[in-house]
């Protein structure tokens, strides 16, 4: 019998609360270095894994941006063949945006990219960081009966659940169970054991090589509807300089004001070549353009349905598609395609 090869994992540390310490003067949390983090998790040595790490200059994830996503994706792509799985330590504030962006940038992913962090720094007595890090490593090392990776996608591990990255949203600034995927089931439930929901896991269609695309076009924005928005404000937002794509955050099943001026402003923006994708402000459910007149008018004006996509997935998908250099009509078509499990069509 041949001995089982030790799983080889790469930890990529980008910052976030998990590695922060308190500033002695201001008492505010600030990023700290990775060796401090690892020193606080001696249990890692109990895992029979080969673990390497890469440390970026640690940041609060409020400072994360497309160059940071490219840096993480490049690190994964350039070490892709050397490791069985990757664990990205990241702040929680923009974790769902990073998870969505990485899912698009790392095309044809066949290995686990598990993103985690914590609500309390790893040096604190009641920290959730130690458990999250250990569990993320175990998930990254998990295999199916035939030895292939159990997880073959970008996922967020937080407290009791593993969620698909591009379906996740930060739901709480205070609870340990801070993330949720409101429109897609959990990929695993973490209790005494790690119970994978195999039917929910993404399975890439063909065994094609990793396809890295790190160019994101940031000429995109959100427009959040609220009762009382004036024509002047809407026109100003729709005419933002250089804007190519807009995620319109609408009411309920994708509804917006039916007033003539509103629809006219939207239709004019679409005619100028701005791609507008409709995503609901509701945390659960999606856009159904034909359910109400208030949604039907948007569809007739040329707005694309975002179906049940999260706002984080919709905005990063727009950045990614425009980053590929596609025309507005090609972007609109690809928005209606499920690229990596981000949308139910």
Separation CA 128–CA 105 (nearest Å): 29
| 73 annotated as a binding-site residue | no
Within residues 103-142, the interface with ligand ASP by CB under 6 A covers 117, 119
* CB closer to ligand ASP, 250 vs 316: 316
Question: Which residue is at the shortest CB distance from ligand ASP?
Answer: 91
Is 92 a known active-site residue?
A: yes
Active site residue 17: yes
The DSSP-derived string for 203-269 is --SS-PPPEE-------EEEEE--TT--HHHHHHHHT-TT--EEEEEEBTTTB----HHHHHHHHHH
Question: From the candidates 2, 14, 17, 327, which is the catalytic residue?
Answer: 17
* Nearer to ligand ASP among residue 16 and residue 85 (C-beta): 16
* From 2, 26, 57, 92, the catalytic residue: 92
Binding window for ligand ASP (CB under 6 A); candidates: 3-11, 58-66, 209-217, 236-244 = 58-66
Of residues 117, 215, 182, 130, the one with CA closest to residue 312: 182
Q: Name 143's Cβ contacts closer than 8 Å, sequence gap at least 6.
A: 149, 150
- Binding part of the chain for ligand ASP, among 88-96, 133-141, 263-271, 322-330 by CB under 6 A, reads 88-96
Size of the site for ligand ASP (CB under 6 A): 11
Integer-rounded Cα radius of gyration of the chain: 21
- 138 phi, psi to nearest 5 deg: -65, -40
> If binding is defined by CB under 6 A, does position 85 make contact with ligand ASP?
no
Do residues 62 and 93 lie in contact, with contact meaning Cβ atoms separated by under 8 Å? yes
d(CA 160, CA 333) in angstroms, rounded, equals 36
Residue 68 or 257 with smaller CB distance to ligand ASP: 68
Q: 61: annotated binding-site residue? A: yes
Residues contributing to the annotated binding site for substrate:
61, 92-93
What residue ranges bind ligand ASP (CB under 6 A)?
15-17, 60-62, 91-93, 117, 119
């Amino acid at each position: 019998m041949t001995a089982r090869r030790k799983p080889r994992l790469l930890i990529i540390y980008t910052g976030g609360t998990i590695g922060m310490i308190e500033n002695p003067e201001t008492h505010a949390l600030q990023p700290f270095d990775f060796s401090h983090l690892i020193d606080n998790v001696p249990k890692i040595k109990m895992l029979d894994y080969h673990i390497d790490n890469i440390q970026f200059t640690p940041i609060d994830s409020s400072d994360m941006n497309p160059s940071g996503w490219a840096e993480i994706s490049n690190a994964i792509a350039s070490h892709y063949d050397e490791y069985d799985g990757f664990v990205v330590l990241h702040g929680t504030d923009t974790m769902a945006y990073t998870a969505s962006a990485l899912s698009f940038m790392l095309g044809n992913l066949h290995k686990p990219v598990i993103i985690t962090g914590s609500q309390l720094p790893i040096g604190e007595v009641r920290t959730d960081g130690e458990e999250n890090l250990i569990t993320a490593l175990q998930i990254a090392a998990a295999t199916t009966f035939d030895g292939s990776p159990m997880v073959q996608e970008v996922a967020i591990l937080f407290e009791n659940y593993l969620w698909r990255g591009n379906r996740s949203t930060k739901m709480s600034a205070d609870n340990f169970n801070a993330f949720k995927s409101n429109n897609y089931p959990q990929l695993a439930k973490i209790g005494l054991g790690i119970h994978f929901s195999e039917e929910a896991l993404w399975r890439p269609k063909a065994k094609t090589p990793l396809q890295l695309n790190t160019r994101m076009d940031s000429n995109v924005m959100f427009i959040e509807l609220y009762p009382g928005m004036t024509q002047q404000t809407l026109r100003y937002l729709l005419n933002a300089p250089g804007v190519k794509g807009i995620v319109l955050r609408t009411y309920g099943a994708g509804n917006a004001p039916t007033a003539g001026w509103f629809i006219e402003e939207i239709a004019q923006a679409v005619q100028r070549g701005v791609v507008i994708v409709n995503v609901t402000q509701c945390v659960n459910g999606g856009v159904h353009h034909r359910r109400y007149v208030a949604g039907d008018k948007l569809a007739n004006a040329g707005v694309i349905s975002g179906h049940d996509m999260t706002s984080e997935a919709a905005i990063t998908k727009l950045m990614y598609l425009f980053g590929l250099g596609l025309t507005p009509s090609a972007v609109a078509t690809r928005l209606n395609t499920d690229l990596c499990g981000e949308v139910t069509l």
